[in-house]
Amino acid sequence: MERAGKSLWAALRRVARPERPLDLLVAVWPLMVGQRLAAQTRPAAWDKGTLEVAVGEREWQTQLERMAEPVRAQINRWWGCELVREVRFVYSRAFKSSARRPHRPSTRPGEPRRKAKAEDKLEATLKELQGPLAGIADDELRDLIARVAAHYLDKQKAK
């Protein structure tokens, strides 16, 4: 799934506007920083190279402040250039952590688990993007990301 996400990101990055990266960062945040961190955080503000990341719990904020440099490096690695100079983790009561949701098993008790195929992984990637896509204020960018993702999925299914 990470490989599909990186391929999609490469396509999106080509059309992204570096002066307004927040919408795109929100859209690919789970792929960029991983599910565990994305469940506790979300990009909240952007100002001239400084990215503020909302954190729903103070304990997480304290821990993440120590990880600001590795997170910054990861974002820049994904972006392909020095986009972010500083990452600040800020506590936000308004942000609800998705990690608090109860886990639902993917299969019924007694039902054997099947191995995920490449197609299932791609579809799962697109489903992961649906929530972040809804948070993008720019309709044009949101539609573009959805179209690129759909095109990519169609291409992978054809292989």
pLDDT digits (tens, 9 = 90+) for 83-96: 899 999 999 888 76
| Per-residue pLDDT, 8 | 63
Task: Render the burial of 23-55: b for 16+ CB within 10 Å, e for the rest.
Answer: bbbbbbbbbbbeeebbbbbbbbebeeeebbbbb
Q: Where are the domains of the chain?
A: 2-97+116-158
Q: Do residues 149 and 11 touch, judged by C-beta distance below 8 A?
A: no
User: In this structure, what token pair is assigned to residue 159?
Assistant: 């292989």
Strands (E), the chain: 41-47, 50-55, 86-91
| Percent of the chain residues topping a pLDDT of 90 | 23
| Per-residue pLDDT, 43 | 94
Over range 48-68, report the average pLDDT: 92
Is the full-model pTM beyond 0.85? no
pLDDT digits (tens, 9 = 90+) for 110-157: 555 554 565 666 667 667 777 777 777 777 777 777 777 766 666 666
| Per-residue pLDDT, 153 | 64
Instruction: Read off the pLDDT band of 31 (50, 70, 90).
Output: confident
Task: Supply the DSSP symbol for 103.
Answer: P
Average pLDDT, the chain: 75
